[in-house]
């Protein structure tokens, strides 16, 4: 079945440093979504990418979808303590209603 791998599992940075998490799928994806889960909270939708090579920005966050639609990345510039949480990618490879989540990257930021 479809697998979505996400690395790194953990990342600890100093405030102001950049952060990147990567997702790779075993199959071509129709699209990919990114979610953020604060400690003790629930996943919150950040963005959806659908086009090959697509790049989207949200303030300090940059999301990319690979040309082959099998990988994606989330990059945060100049991290802040409010960025703390687990970032998940989730992709679907077909016309079903199922999203496969990556295992997430836990980001901690040292002030």
Nearer to other proteins (CB atom), residue 22 or residue 35:
35
Nearer to other proteins, 77 or 106 (CB): 106
Q: Does 106 bind other proteins (CB under 8 A)?
A: yes
Kindly state whether residue 34 participates in binding other proteins, applying the rule CB under 8 A: no
Q: How far apart are CA 80 and CA 99, in angstroms?
A: 29
Find, among 23, 22, 31, 19, the residue nearest to 4 by Cα: 23
Q: Does residue 43 belong to the site contacting other proteins (CB under 8 A)?
A: yes
Matching residue, tokens 């077909």: 94
45 binds other proteins (CB under 8 A): yes
7 binds other proteins (CB under 8 A): no
Q: Is 84 in the site for other proteins (CB under 8 A)?
A: no
Q: Is 46 left (phi over 0), alpha (psi -120 to 50) or beta?
A: alpha
Return the half-sphere exposure (C-beta side, CA atoms, 13 A cut-off) of residue 9. Answer: 1
Q: Which chain residues interact with other proteins by CB under 8 A?
A: 30-31, 33, 35, 37, 41-45, 48, 50, 86, 88, 90, 92, 94-101, 103-104, 106
């Amino acid at each position: 079945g479809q697998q979505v791998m996400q690395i790194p599992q953990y990342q600890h940075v100093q405030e102001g440093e950049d952060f990147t998490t990567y997702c790779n799928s075993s199959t071509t994806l129709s699209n990919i979504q990114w979610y953020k889960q604060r400690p003790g909270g629930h996943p919150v939708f950040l963005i959806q990418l659908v086009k090959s090579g697509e790049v989207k920005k949200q303030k300090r966050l940059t999301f990319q979808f690979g040309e082959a639609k099998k990988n994606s990345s989330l990059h945060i510039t100049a991290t802040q303590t409010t960025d703390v949480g687990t970032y998940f990618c989730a992709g679907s490879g077909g016309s079903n209603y199922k999203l496969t989540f990556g295992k997430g990257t836990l980001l901690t930021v040292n002030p």
